[in-house]
Amino acid sequence: MTGITAVVFDLDGVLLDSEHAWHEVREELAHERGGRWHGRAQADMMGMSSLEWSRYMHDVIGLPESPEEIDAEVVRRMAARYARELPLFEGAPEAVRRLAESFRLGLASSSNRSLIDSVLDAAGLMGLFGATVSSEEVARGKPAPDVFLEAARRLGVPPAACTAIEDSGNGIRSAHAAGMRVVAIPNARFPPPPEALSLADVVVGSLAEVTVAAIAGAEPVDLS
């Protein structure tokens, strides 16, 4: 066994099948408000903090509202979706509970604080996390390492003693830059580019494959 003592989950794309929902909500809002949506917009915004992506929607997509107004409206629509149906990945609660038996748990997410708290509360998982961090609470969103470093700080664990679980290119880059071991579950709808995926220590197909051995480093790297 290595010195891994903590696991830091991403939320969107790892526990929650929600990346496409963010895409749909933002694209819908862009069309409603006369914005210039383009094919790379969602990939560009994956991992950005709320301040960063709302500025992107204003500056690049061309929405006339302020970034603060854009952020509030997108979050309102996402919360309404979650209230209708919480899109947890199959096996997500079980994976969290399984790993909580062996490691301290943190969460480092680009979602807004209100969405993080409502999702974990609705899923019955809030009490299993020793620390949760929204990228709106740090200086820079992913791919900068800030949100993962802050999660490790709040857990009281060195980053090198943490394994991060990520799905996106920017998320993998962020966790790697923080000095964490990285388990990647590539997002099926928005797969990470090969150069980002190559930074992962282990690549798996689903949460069911995220074992204690994979987290701790007792399994070989699989980049197939």
178 exposure class (CB count in 10 Å sphere: 0-12, 13-18, 19+): buried
User: What is the spatial distance between Cα 180 and Cα 7, in angstroms, rounded to a whole number?
Assistant: 9
Catalytic residue among 12, 17, 146, 167: 12
- 10 catalytic, yes or no? yes
DSSP state for residue 192 in the 8-state scheme? P
Structure token pair of residue 48: 């950005």
Structure token pair of residue 156: 């009281």
Catalytic residue among 10, 71, 167, 201: 10
- 12 catalytic, yes or no? yes
For helices 50-59 and 67-84, give the axis angle rounded to 10 degrees: 120
59 exposure class (CB count in 10 Å sphere: 0-12, 13-18, 19+): exposed
DSSP state for residue 193 in the 8-state scheme? P
Structure token pair of residue 141: 């969103």
User: What is the spatial distance between Cα 194 and Cα 169, in angstroms, rounded to a whole number?
Assistant: 9
Give catalytic residues, as residue numbers.
Answer: 10, 12
